[in-house]
Structure 1
Amino acid sequence: MHSPLGIRPHRMRPADATTWSLVAAAVLVQIAYPLTAESWRTPVTVLSVVVFAAASLADAGRVHGLRGVVVLVAVAGGGGLLAESVGLATGFPFGQYAYADTLGPTAFGVPLVVPLAWLMMAWPALVVGRALAASPLAVVAVGGPALATWDLFLDPQMVDAGHWAWAHPTPALPLVPGVPLTNFGGWVVVSVAIVAALHALLDRPARPTVTSGPAAALYLWVYGSSVLGHLVFFDRPGSALVGGLAMGLVAIPFALRLR
């Protein structure tokens, strides 16, 4: 049976205790981060990404089975690693930057936690795109920015923490110093490509707005907590404002749609 959009619907299991437990753990670790002593923040950062990625993988597996897990790892994780390794070697598409020796094991010079970060947010971004749009082009046009705008919070925080730095941090977005415009442009390009590939390779569920409560919770948590964290804990009111406005263009309509 096919939907009017030409996308084969399928049945999925309801979210189970394991998936929701991983979501709750991801939230709790992120809450702990700003309350943790400076010397412990790097391990907490890594743990946060690992647990969040596990929650996304569990939810993708619930909705799409083993295929969902494999595709998410290959496309979002592998695609993120490819983009980052090319970026390190050539400066394209993000600009010239370098990682500090702080985030653990690496592959091709890229800390392994970095492609996990692409993976962890790519799945919620796909769910957001599918909830707010119908046609494949529109899903990508929404889901790509849903992923890319998260970087308006991520990069300033990680630069301040000393995990990576830019050779040429200007010109930058207004109120977001230390991160060049080229980086955000690169994020848009890579995010759109990842979401487009995920949408093409994973069948769209018949009822996308109610398919993934866990992914919805993760995305909206990241949005709200990022605004609060940059405003209150990280002394980054500029990125709280710019990121809050940009990511809010997707997150707020998504929250309203869920109602």
Structure 2
Amino acid sequence: MTRRLPWYGLGLLILAQICYPLTDGGARAAVTVTTVVLGYLLSVGHAALTRGPRVATVLVLVTTGGGLFVEAAGVASGVPFGDYTYSGALGPKIAGVPWVIPLAWTWMAWPAWLAAVRLVRHPVLRVGVAGVGLAAWDLFLDPQMVAEGYWTWSNASPSLPGVPDVPLGNYAGWLVVAVLMMTVFNGLAGPTAIVPGRDAPMYALYLWTYLSSILAHAAFLGLPASAGWGALGMGLVALPLAISLRVRG
């Protein structure tokens, strides 16, 4: 039964995400929060079930705790993401940061890490691939959330072509933070081996996030430029992962 729990969790997450383009206003904000919570529980739960409570605890401390720290620093100082502020749409805040935001770091950090574990053996390269896998998600995330008014930058220049409301420095900040997170996680959690047959839900989560984000941005959310940039950036990890699963099973 426990082997099926991550698949059930992934199914609930997908159902919630399908509701996103079908809603707006307060209902869409509620769907956003629900989606993040479900993704968080899915990733932490999978880590606990497959690697044990110690690894799951390290994951939470590094990515949830670390996510809150860097987001609070960002809101207060503009470092490392630029000068930005959160609206009140996503619920209560901790140090200026909606409580749900740090959970999003953990949600995608774990599948990005497991994708890197599958793709790369060298520990240093693995950390780099995992960091890219996490940071590239933001090429979808920030344009989508800014379009909804959940946060805004005071100065978004320079920016990627077609994505005028998110500064390039934000993506650079994400990459630096993501690599640091993966470095610390690797050091504290220790070597992470593939668990045959148990990591498939996380691979599916990563690939679903990639493909569904392209579709949603291009066809439903009116964000074709971020669909393209996200396809390129996240594809650096998602496409090799898909090929690996196709070739090696």
Give 2:165's aligned residue: 178
Displacement after TM superposition at 1:201 (Å): 2.1
- 2:144 matches 1:157: yes
Give 1:132's aligned residue: 119
Give 1:9's aligned residue: none
CA deviations 1:16-68 (Å, max 9, x no partner) are 22221111111110111111244410000000000011100111111211112
Alpha-carbon distance in 1 for matches of 2:215, 2:196:
26
Q: Which amino acid aligns with 1:33?
A: Y
Give 2:40's aligned residue: 53
TM-score (structure 2 length as normaliser): 0.95
Give 1:89's aligned residue: 76
- 2:236 matches 1:252: no
Runs of 4+ in 1 over 4 A off after TM superposition: 208-211
Closer/same/farther in 2, CA of residues 172 and 15 from structure 1, 3 Å limit: farther
- 2:41 matches 1:41: no
Displacement after TM superposition at 1:210 (Å): 5.1
What is the DSSP-based 3-state SS (H/G/I as helix, E as strand, rest coil) of the residue aligned with 2:160? coil
Aligned residues: 246
Structure 1: stretches of 5+ with no match in the other structure: 1-13
Closer/same/farther in 2, CA of residues 206 and 83 from structure 1, 3 Å limit: closer
Alpha-carbon distance in 2 for matches of 1:149, 1:97:
19
Alpha-carbon distance in 2 for matches of 1:104, 1:65:
31
What is the DSSP-based 3-state SS (H/G/I as helix, E as strand, rest coil) of the residue aligned with 2:121? coil
Alpha-carbon distance in 1 for matches of 2:75, 2:196:
37
Q: Which amino acid aligns with 1:207?
A: I
Alpha-carbon distance in 2 for matches of 1:228, 1:208:
30
Larger RCO: Structure 1 or Structure 2 (Cα < 8 Å, ≥ 6 residues apart)?
Answer: 1
Please identify, of 98-107 and 34-43, the stretch whose mean Cα deviation from structure 2 is larger: 34-43
Give 2:220's aligned residue: 233
Structure 2: stretches of 5+ with no match in the other structure: none
CA deviations 1:85-121 (Å, max 9, x no partner) are 0011110010000000111121111101100000100
User: Are 1:131 and 1:208, in contact at CA under 8 Å, matched by a contact in 2?
Assistant: no
Alpha-carbon distance in 2 for matches of 1:115, 1:253:
28
- 2:40 matches 1:23: no
Displacement after TM superposition at 1:195 (Å): 1.4
Closer/same/farther in 2, CA of residues 23 and 166 from structure 1, 3 Å limit: same
- Percent identical: 46
Alpha-carbon distance in 2 for matches of 1:184, 1:225:
21
Closer/same/farther in 2, CA of residues 208 and 141 from structure 1, 3 Å limit: farther
What is the DSSP-based 3-state SS (H/G/I as helix, E as strand, rest coil) of the residue aligned with 1:92? coil
User: Are 2:50 and 2:195, in contact at CA under 8 Å, matched by a contact in 1?
Assistant: no
